[in-house]
Structure 1
Amino acid sequence: MKNQISGALSNFFFEYETPRQVLVRNRRVGVVCRLIQLGVLVYIIGWVFIYEKGYQSTDTAVSSVFTKMKGVGYTNESGKERVWDVSDYVFPSQGDSSFVVMTNYILTEGQQMGKCPELEGRHSCESNADCEGGSFKRTGHGQMTGVCVNTTKTCEVLAWCPVEDDHTIPNPALLMSAENYTLFIKNSVTFPIFGVTRSNLVEGIDAGYISKCLYDPDTAPLCPIFRLGDIVSLSGFNFGKIAHEGGAIGIVVDWTCNFDLDLKYCIPQYNFHGLYGNPDETDQTRASMGYNFRYAKHYLENSIPKRTLLKVFGIRIDIIVQSMARKFDIIPTLTAIGSGVGIFGVATVVCDLVLLYLLPKREFYKNMKFKYTDTQVQHDSETLGLDKSINYTFEANARQVQGQSNDPDSEAGSIETEVSKK
């Protein structure tokens, strides 16, 4: 018993088993095998390592963005001149990564709480019965009082009076001067895995450069100051159309960095995308176009609360930071190599399928590749005291002789060596 356990342990630790292999000399199968292996090699080197950079680990950034608009607008409505500065035309004013620049508006001044007729064309009535007192209409301006105003043929409402008339949008936009406003973007990113922090104010972007530069994708691609008209045109929109009814534009700050190179090569790229607006004439068929919202400025006049209502049409700017940093790492490198080596097994599987199921002499190859156990032959061999390997060898040699062919691409060149002879 002790000898058996000792022998088993010895065999386990000091013996190595290898799969049985059959060398097949067949031109067609050999070419198929090499082509598949070549394809796998091209995939590993070209796609996994060169294109996907499978030898590097990756990290995305934690980012912060703040913005600042500059510029002055001028309007002259019915002889009323007005200058608009940043505090008037930017909403909100805190310098967020998402904000609106006003380009057009409808102004309703001197509103105060009271009773007045609804806007003509809305909630028309013929008598008081058509105006249910105390009720509201979704598109109305206030609560109906139950009175039908004969002069306008509309229901009387309790609201901020006079009610806003937004049927006609000024065209061209009142603040076409917004085309020359400038936007300053300050962005910083941190890649926590690699411990790297970068700002879009990269090497060479100092106060002197910022004071005179203006972004241009060809001549000044790193300048963080953008002209609003250039942003609109680079996004594919027409400034006159988007300024009239408003729209949305996305500015993407792209940080794609390779930290295997010097840190100075980690620089941002700016891309501009028209998200919503009027890029072509087909937009005129839409049920709802542009971008707008209402903003009220409240004040007291002779102790009476009043307000000035603005329906603002503007360009919504959304600044989006996307990032991907890479650096060499031995773990993904070994993983990529291991998976590539495993894929090489595809060639063996395909070639085995061709040999065993598609070629005319597939039975011969099956005999070469597999050993068959015949219960009756095994019983007779044990009865006569013969070594089982002799029977296997005789059987295989007999099948090989029967399958001989003059075809150079067939099994004629296939050789099986049986070393276990009695």
Structure 2
Amino acid sequence: MPACCSWNDVFQYETNKVTRIQSMNYGTIKWICHLIVFSYVIFALVSDKRYQRKEPLISSVHTKVKGIAEVREEIIESGAKKVVQSVFDTADYTFPLQGNSFFVMTNFLKTEGQEQGLCPEGGIMGIEIYWDCNLDRWFHHCRPKYSFRRLDDKTASESSYPGYNFREENLTLSS
């Protein structure tokens, strides 16, 4: 039905022309196809219960640890008790994901002289990925080009949002 132009077009309808073919062979093939489809639907719903089949659960949990950890140790050196303070950041107690595992840090390697300090320079960086890729060619022709830019105001003496996690995705695909 074409787009409505007037009220008369709304109350019109079209029918298709029906042609009957009297053939024992075509009629038998038609009813056999109907019987196969109907039998499969009955089998799937009633006997095999495929509508109730469930998939196993596949999931993963990733915990992100932020901040620092301060550890004070009492060390006895040459008979004198000495208190040593150690500072750990997320790089020290974050490990790559592994399947079917849960990680609790119970032991660590200590770096002598490590102190939590301030970086005199820094900023919030954005990574831009330009991916000019022809998917009809080999995969080694699809190499992304990375560029980096600063997201915070480099002229301001203080950042508007210090310590926040800025994430911005800028991915360019061309085919």
| Structure of larger gyration radius | 1
Question: What's the TM-score once normalised by structure 1's chain length?
Answer: 0.15
Name the structure with the higher strand share.
Answer: 1
Question: What's the TM-score once normalised by structure 2's chain length?
Answer: 0.31
Q: Which has the higher contact order (CA 8 A, sep 6+)?
A: 1
Name the structure with the higher helix share.
Answer: 1
